Amino acid sequence: MRAPEFWSGGGGGLAPFLLSPVSAIYAAATARRMARPGWHATVPVICCGNATAGGAGKTTAALDIGRRLGNRGIGAHFLLRGYGGKLKGPIRVDPTIHDSTAVGDEALLLAAERPTWVAADRAAGAQAAIAAGAQAIVMDDGLQNPTLDKDLSLLVIDGTYGFGNGRVIPSGPLREPVAAAAARCRAAVLVGEDETGALAALPPGLPVLRARLVPGPEAELLSGQPVFAFCGIANPRKFFSTLQEAGAFIAGKQAYADHYPFDEGDLRDLLAQAEALRATPVTTRKDFVRIPPAFRNRVTVVTVRLEWAEPVAIETLLEPLAARVPMPA
């Protein structure tokens, strides 16, 4: 789905007001659900979550933390619901047999790096991962899921979008009030500059770790070149800005709804537009896994990674959890 315009920052009008009673019910239901006790895993559980519906950089943050744990010799497994996929799990993602319709696009990105589990029941997914040898679990999303206790929760915030209009679904994009989400987190992670004043909504004393998205090495080849950029992510502006920062000239662009299922007709149209502009068709890694396989060799992927302003801050948060993992003799 594409988020309603009134969900954005400053979005007002009659709709949020009329929907506010439903938002109050939604928030109360979330609070009741979160009050339930969850299963406590025998290994550290780290959650990269957010307060809003849609993307905020959770998957990129999860990938970064998975790599940091790997650098410490810890066999971390990823765990997520598998949004957009039909499999409920628990099931270990196998990119050779699963596609985005089965497990969702984020799961395929994560599985390309380390063992990844899709599970609607996050506790059951964690149990399956531990049985398969997981020494730590990194959750992509799940801050509002109470079935699994978290040892470290991070509130990931997209600096360009913040908390939207600050209202709870359906009046706004919040899954729950910011204060409720932040109360369960050890720190916030601000990705990009705080363009909407989101940090002002956080409780005093909550540490804020700053980071930014940095394009992968393939972006260097596009510097000074015309590109036709297309994507179906929550905030297309982030992708377009990343390309510009890499020095690419955006000759044309096309944005779709988040998790948009590209078909062959879409790709024929997109490639025709790129050819007419004599531009290289480029997309995100997340979108690439939703492109029909027959067209993938004609599209360039630009990856991104998280660059921390102070890497020592995230390492300090991970240190006590890493110390709990028994290392081989």
Mean pLDDT for 23-28 is 95
Distance between start and end Cα atoms, the chain: 50
Question: One-letter amino acid identity for 29?
Answer: A
* 3-state SS class at 227: strand
pLDDT at 134 over 90: yes
Residue 325 has pLDDT above 90, yes or no: no
Q: Which band of pLDDT confidence, cut at 50, 70 and 90, is reported for residue 12?
A: low
% of the chain beyond a pLDDT of 90: 82
pLDDT digits (tens, 9 = 90+) for 247-297: 999 999 999 988 899 999 999 999 999 999 999 999 999 999 999 999 999
Annotated binding site for ATP: 52-59
Residues 6+ apart with CB under 8 A from 225: 248, 249, 279, 280
pLDDT in tens, 48-97: 999 998 777 899 999 999 999 999 999 999 999 999 899 998 999 999 99
Residue numbering of the annotated binding site: 52-59
Kindly report the pTM of this predicted structure: 0.91
Percent pLDDT > 70 in the chain is: 97
Instruction: For 216-254, write each residue's pLDDT tens digit.
Output: 888 888 999 999 999 999 888 889 988 998 899 999 999
Q: How far apart are CA 221 and CA 29, in angstroms?
A: 49
Helix axes 311-322, 58-71, angle to 10 degrees: 60
